[in-house]
Amino acid sequence: MKLLILNPISDIAIPGQRYRSVISFVPPIGIAYLAGALIQAGIDVDVEDQFASGNTNEYIADKIRRGKYEIIGISCLTPSISNIRRLVKLIREINPEIKIVLGNIHATVFPEEMLKDASGDIVVRGEGEYAFVEVVKAIRQKKKLQEVKGISFISDGKIVHNPDSDLTEDLDQIPYPAWQTFAFNLYKRYPMLGIYNEIILPIQASRGCTHSCIFCSQNIMYKKPRYRNSEKVLDEIEYMHEKYKTRFFGFNDAYFPFSVEHGLDFCKRLMKRGLHKKIRWITETRVNKVSLELLRKMRQAGLRLIMYGFEVGNQSILDSIRKQTTLKQAEDAMSYTRKAGVQSLGLFMLGLPQDTEETCRQTIDFAIRLSPDIAKFNITIPQPGSELYNSCKDSLINAKPEDFTSWSDWISPNGSIIYAPKNITREKLLYLQREAMFRYYINPKHISRLLLKRGFHVKDMYLGAKLIVGKYLKEILKFQSRTRTA
């Protein structure tokens, strides 16, 4: 029984779209974990990451014809839904016998839609390792699907939702991600980090989050937070380093490390193994989970870049999104990070429900004051599965799946912004995002620091500057002239 797992491309990321030139592709660890569990169950798995490869649907159709797959699993993220519908139609034309299994967040939030409209056969809800293996076994042994937990499917024309699968309490029981099923050459360009020709291999030390920020859809997938044993995480890093000679690892946890104590202990264990001489790693964390001592230790232990979700520059907005951090903690975290000599990336959001033009400007000013090496200004997207989505979904009814595409300096293909808070127009929000990028990057102090500090390729810096000056300045001036004449 051969099985293919597909990670479809979203319309905006199709080759030729300028958007593609600014993305750094990361191999999806969720699919690697699925492949690991399936291979351990004796199932032969192929993976096609169309998002990273940019292969056409025709290419994939050909691969399916040649591959003689009986089951095709499709990873469903909202911006890719239009293309998923096209792919399912294509697969049905090739061989209507092929079983199509859908998973990931969009399928988990909208199982009925994915069975009816996208016409998949089965939806695996939530974490998929064990449920997917059970689905494949049930199909193989022609067993009733009613016995498989964590899935939804169509039976006699009716949609059936089986009870949720039991949560995997001990994450260290899950087989290692099967990275051998991925084409590493697709993932070797991180201009933002000055890393070229090397993959940053994802590693996961936990699932779920102790917090519930209104814009995040984490908790609908992972329910409760669970943590791996540090020695087991280090075993995996050592194993992957030996097997694939990978030097860079990226933690994709909600935040890592989980506390200052946990971080100090993790670094001590890593250095005891001498891994700090062999690898470098990047991570994302919360501003209230670091100290100067920890950041210094993490740097010694090979930390290459730390990302902070600073989000906004106004405390009452920060409280309104339930981030549970303070502006003071953000300032302290940045000063510790600079003192420890760790490269930093700051994530900021514009257009949250309580935002006004003034509070967005406070966020831009705050970003410039914090001055992380790299800053991303995201225009808020109410992602399905998040509380924010539930609170404003009625106003999004006409939105198309690809309109949920958000990348720091990009908006949906047709140029419209899907959501703006009551006090700001969509047009103004785009203007503020452009102003943020322009004021943040087109400043001599920042440019000189970027040039002096890291191995950025001047070509990529030129590309970034061309984008910001070429595209954004034009948009800013156009908007100003329009509002002046209005």
Q: Please give the Cα distance from 317 to 363 (Å, whole number).
A: 10
Q: What is the CA radius of gyration of the chain?
A: 23
DSSP-derived 3-state class of residue 358: helix
The correct pick among 38, 45, 47, 73 for binding ligand B12 (CB under 6 A) is 73
Q: Which residues pair with 344 in a beta bridge?
A: 306
The secondary element (H helix, E strand) that includes residue 348 is strand 343-350
Nearer Cβ to ligand B12, position 28 or 346? 28
User: Contact between 252 and ligand B12 (CB under 6 A)?
Assistant: yes
User: Does residue number 384 form part of the binding site for ligand B12 (CB under 6 A)?
Assistant: yes
Would you count residue 433 as binding ligand B12 (CB under 6 A)?
A: no
Beta-strand relationship, 44-49 and 2-7? parallel
In this complex, which beta carbon is closest to ligand B12, that of residue 31 or of residue 303?
A: 31
Count of residues that bind ligand B12 according to CB under 6 A? 42
124 belongs to the binding site for ligand B12 (CB under 6 A): yes
Do the beta carbons of residue 84 and residue 100 sit within 8 Å? Answer: no
Query: Binding ligand B12 by CB under 6 A: which of 4, 26, 290, 388?
Result: 26
Q: Nearer Cβ to ligand B12, position 343 or 383?
A: 383
- Nearer residue to ligand B12 within complex by CB, 128 or 421: 128
Could you say whether residue 165 binds ligand B12 (CB under 6 A)? no
Shortest distance (Å) from residue 139 CB to ligand B12: 12
Q: Which is nearer to ligand B12, 103 or 302 (CB)?
A: 103
79 counts as binding ligand B12 under rule CB under 6 A: yes
Position 372 contacts ligand B12 (CB under 6 A): no
Say whether residue 388 binds ligand B12 (CB under 6 A): no
Beta bridge pairs of residue 152: 123, 161
Q: Note whether 104 binds ligand B12 by CB under 6 A.
A: yes
Closest CA to 8 of 76, 95, 106: 76
Q: Which is nearer to ligand B12, 48 or 355 (CB)?
A: 48
* Alpha carbon distances (Å) from 336 to 91, 348, 354, 449: 53, 19, 30, 18
**Binding to ligand B12 by residue 181, rule CB under 6 A?**
no
- The helix/strand/coil state of 49 is strand
Pairing, β 200-203 against β 195-196? unpaired
- Binding to ligand B12 (CB under 6 A) within 280-319 occurs at none
- Least separation in angstroms between CB 221 and ligand B12: 5
Instruction: Assess 105 for contact with ligand B12 (CB under 6 A).
Output: yes
* Least distance to ligand B12, CB of residue 6, Å: 8
77 is an interface residue for ligand B12 by CB under 6 A:
yes
Distance CA(15)–CA(486), nearest Å, equals 38
Query: Could you say which of 263, 385, 421, 464 contacts ligand B12 (CB under 6 A)?
Result: 385
Q: Quick check: 179 and 47 in contact, CB under 8 A?
A: no
218 near ligand B12 (CB under 6 A): yes
Q: Is 138 left (phi over 0), alpha (psi -120 to 50) or beta?
A: alpha
The total of other beta-carbon atoms located within 10 Å of residue 205's CB is: 23
Which residue in 45, 88, 103, 343 binds ligand B12 (CB under 6 A)? 103
Taken in order 435, 437, 439, 440, the sign of the CA dihedral is: positive
d(CA 249, CA 303): 10
The stretch among 54-62, 128-136, 390-398, 471-479 that binds ligand B12 (CB under 6 A) is 128-136
Toward ligand B12, which CB reaches closer, 99 or 280? 99
* Count of residues in the chain: 486
Considering only the stretches 54-62, 72-80, 297-305, 443-451, report the one whose residues sit in contact with ligand B12 under the rule CB under 6 A.
72-80
Q: By CB under 6 A, is residue 349 in contact with ligand B12?
A: no
Q: Which of 84, 116, 73, 115 is nearest to 11 (CA)?
A: 84
Give the range of 103-111, 270-278, 285-293, 297-305 binding ligand B12 by CB under 6 A: 103-111
Check if the beta carbon of residue 162 is closer than 8 Å to that of residue 149.
Answer: yes
The C-alpha atoms of residue 255 and residue 235 are separated, in whole angstroms, by 20
- Among positions 14, 29, 41, 396, the unique one binding ligand B12 when judged by CB under 6 A: 29
- Which residue has tokens 């990348």? 407
CB of 268 to ligand B12, least distance (A): 26
- With b for 16 or more beta-carbon neighbours within 10 A and e for fewer, the 350-364 pattern comes to bbbbbbeeebbbbbb
Interface with ligand B12 (CB under 6 A), residue from 11, 129, 387, 409: 129
The dihedral of CA 65, 66, 72, 78: what is its sign?
A: negative
Does residue 80 bind ligand B12 (CB under 6 A)?
Answer: yes
Q: Which of 427, 437, 214 is nearest to 309 (CA)?
A: 214
CB of 13 to ligand B12, least distance (A): 6
Binding site for ligand B12 (CB under 6 A): 5, 7, 10, 13, 25-26, 28-31, 33-34, 51, 73-75, 77-80, 101, 103-106, 124, 127-129, 132, 204, 217-218, 221, 252, 254, 383-385, 405-407
